[in-house]
Chain A
Amino acid sequence: MTVRRIEGELPVAFRYTPGVGNTAFFEALRDRGTFLGSRCADCGVTYLPARIFCERCLAGLVPDTECGPEGTVESWTVARQDVDGRPLDPPVTFALVRLDGADTVLLHRLLGTADIGGRVRAVLRPERTASILDLQGFEPV
């Protein structure tokens, strides 16, 4: 038989350092259940999650600005398949939500139905581990 394919895989693993800004964000989320961003006064932009630099003017920033927990839906979509292309039953709705006080969005699950401009509120898990999954998603207000 003709040899037409040789299969292989890439079993690699990584550890990702969230960094100072993300760590401040995750610790505020875990310990106080709040959303911590950072504001560049010169650009008039509040980044969420917090960052230690402004991507517009490259000024140094500090994590000092609380946002949310309510916000506005900027967009949404429905995932009917997972990253492996397997059917999701039920489908999962993902949304971009701009929390009040922030100029950037968070990508997360939409727990219910809301269109662009719709108001939503963050739903936190009772037991939190300093991860983006401490947030369950956003539910319509």
Chain B
Amino acid sequence: MSPRIGVTGVGWSGFTPTTAGRSYKELMFEAASAAYLDAGLDPRTDVDSFVCASEDLEEGTSIFDEYVPDQLGAVQRPVQTVASDGLFAVATALMLIRSGAANVVAVEAHSKASDILTPGRVDAFALDPVLNRPLGVPALALAGLEMRRYLHASGRTVEQCADVATRNRDQARSNRRASFADVDGDDAPLFDPLTTHQAARSADGCVVIVLASEDRTDGRPTVWMDGIGWSQDAPSVESRDWSRAVAAERAAATAFAQADVGPADIDTAEVDDTFAYKQLQHLDALGLAELDPASVNRSGGAIGEGYLHEANGLARTLAAVEQLRAGDGRAAVVQSWRGVPSTSAAVAVLRMDR
């Protein structure tokens, strides 16, 4: 087995519906400063490489990757952006370390969703411009279509999905980052059978995670990132699998094999719950359908913490790291999905030796 890679620092900012007055750069600065403090290092001298995750259209800026170095301490340093969820940026960081190109890497992803005035237009622009977009179909309708097909194929029920949303909000009550433990208004149809209470709501926030090769962890108690995988199903609306989370299945197989563990070894799971049915579908994909529900999204997930766009995967990772550090389990699985209309997913296995 190659040398292990540890999570030596975590930091975050926001996790609130709005962050009025603070720019995305300031949210990143705040989260990065906390992560570097946690890791006990100076980013200007001790971090070898920086990897961010962002999408231009969600930022309102073309070539957005040019806008990230200064607030991370990455000016005149190796820095790159992955146009995907933050957990894919973690995968890039692991490759940098495993290849020997870097020993210490900082990973960043954020959401300043409260600045997006026309989110439905951003989502619609992700649909195929020839076959799908001309229909005027909101991208979120794909979640309603997928949920109905998933329930039909799996035998799960609308009530089980509602239970997921209720439980995640209950579990969010003990999470200081969770803004959505309580939701206003009655549950209403969103895109049938999906309802408003079963969908995570947008939030602002940033997460920064520092990863280091084993010899840079200085023998401290460390959460190890022992496996990571990512995959994409057929991307088109026409040919994708509408019942299963195929990408999560493939990503999990890779991550579990790397870490040499199986679903039975997992104590705690932080999985994508952008919509309540996705949590059930993702647990199916991970082989964790039988895991104690109290050990799934103890943080409250995105339903409790808010939908952080490309920072969702890092938010789930942050929650898992905190749980392992606190002794709430020895092995955790983290899973992310890029949201509608995507078919991309990533999975990581984290462990804490005791």
A residues near B (Cβ < 8 Å) are 2, 4-5, 7-8, 10, 14, 16, 18, 22, 47-49, 55, 74-85, 94-96, 103-109, 116, 131-133
Cα distance, A35 to B152, chains bound together (Å) = 27
Q: By the criterion CB–CB under 8 Å, are B149 and A78 in contact?
A: no
Q: By the criterion CB–CB under 8 Å, are B242 and A105 in contact?
A: yes
Residue B326 at the A interface, CB < 8 A?
no
Cα distance, A47 to B335, chains bound together (Å) = 31
Given A49-B238, A74-B149, A77-B148, verify A14-B129 contact (CB < 8 Å): yes
Cα distance, A22 to B115, chains bound together (Å) = 36
Given A107-B135, A107-B237, A132-B135, verify A84-B130 contact (CB < 8 Å): no
Closest to B234 in A: A55
Q: By the criterion CB–CB under 8 Å, are B192 and A75 in contact?
A: no
Sampled A-B contacts (16; CB under 8 Å):
A4-B21, A5-B115, A75-B145, A78-B191, A78-B192, A79-B137, A79-B141, A81-B138, A94-B135, A94-B145, A104-B239, A105-B242, A107-B135, A107-B137, A116-B152, A131-B134
Cα distance, A92 to B282, chains bound together (Å) = 29
Residue B132 at the A interface, CB < 8 A?
yes
Contact with A along B117-158 (1 / 0, CB 8 A): 110110110000111101111110100111111001000000
Closest to B193 in A: A77
Residue B189 at the A interface, CB < 8 A?
yes
Q: By the criterion CB–CB under 8 Å, are A47 and B239 in contact?
A: yes
B121 nearest CB across to chain A (Å) = 6
Kindly list the 8 A-B residue pairs having the minimum CB-CB distance in the complex, ordered from nearest. Answer: A77-B144, A75-B149, A83-B120, A104-B238, A83-B124, A16-B129, A104-B239, A75-B145
Q: By the criterion CB–CB under 8 Å, are B148 and A22 in contact?
A: no
Q: By the criterion CB–CB under 8 Å, are A47 and B238 in contact?
A: yes
Residue B287 at the A interface, CB < 8 A?
no
Cα distance, A78 to B131, chains bound together (Å) = 19
Closest to B149 in A: A75
Closest to B62 in A: A10
Residue B20 at the A interface, CB < 8 A?
yes
Q: By the criterion CB–CB under 8 Å, are B134 and A83 in contact?
A: no
Query: Which residues of A have CB within 8 Å of B145?
Result: 75-77, 94-96, 107
B residues near A (Cβ < 8 Å) are 20-21, 57, 60, 115, 117-118, 120-121, 123-124, 129-132, 134-139, 141, 144-149, 152, 189-194, 234, 236-239, 242
Q: By the criterion CB–CB under 8 Å, are A94 and B137 in contact?
A: yes
Cα distance, A94 to B138, chains bound together (Å) = 10
Q: By the criterion CB–CB under 8 Å, are A133 and B134 in contact?
A: yes
A44 nearest CB across to chain B (Å) = 14
Closest to A117 in B: B152
Query: Which residues of B have CB within 8 Å of A85?
Result: 120
Q: By the criterion CB–CB under 8 Å, are A78 and B129 in contact?
A: no
Query: Which residues of A have CB within 8 Å of B152?
Result: 75, 116
Given A14-B129, A94-B141, verify A132-B192 contact (CB < 8 Å): no
Q: By the criterion CB–CB under 8 Å, are B135 and A116 in contact?
A: no
Given A82-B138, A83-B124, A107-B237, verify A75-B148 contact (CB < 8 Å): yes
B338 nearest CB across to chain A (Å) = 19
Q: By the criterion CB–CB under 8 Å, are A82 and B242 in contact?
A: no
Closest to B190 in A: A80
Closest to B121 in A: A83
Known: A75-B148, A85-B120. 4 other contacts (CB 8 A): A77-B193, A104-B236, A107-B132, A133-B135
Cα distance, A109 to B239, chains bound together (Å) = 18
Closest to A106 in B: B238
Cα distance, A7 to B20, chains bound together (Å) = 14
Q: By the criterion CB–CB under 8 Å, are B141 and A96 in contact?
A: no
Query: Which residues of A have CB within 8 Å of B192?
Result: 77-78
Query: Which residues of B have CB within 8 Å of A133?
Result: 134-135
Q: By the criterion CB–CB under 8 Å, are A78 and B120 in contact?
A: no
B150 nearest CB across to chain A (Å) = 9
Q: By the criterion CB–CB under 8 Å, are B141 and A77 in contact?
A: yes
Q: By the criterion CB–CB under 8 Å, are B148 and A116 in contact?
A: yes
Query: Which residues of B have CB within 8 Å of A2?
Result: 21
Cα distance, A84 to B119, chains bound together (Å) = 8
Q: By the criterion CB–CB under 8 Å, are B118 and A84 in contact?
A: yes
Closest to B192 in A: A78
Query: Which residues of B have CB within 8 Å of A76?
Result: 145, 148
Cα distance, A75 to B176, chains bound together (Å) = 39
Q: By the criterion CB–CB under 8 Å, are A105 and B148 in contact?
A: no
Cα distance, A109 to B141, chains bound together (Å) = 12
B161 nearest CB across to chain A (Å) = 14
Cα distance, A97 to B144, chains bound together (Å) = 15
Q: By the criterion CB–CB under 8 Å, are A83 and B136 in contact?
A: yes
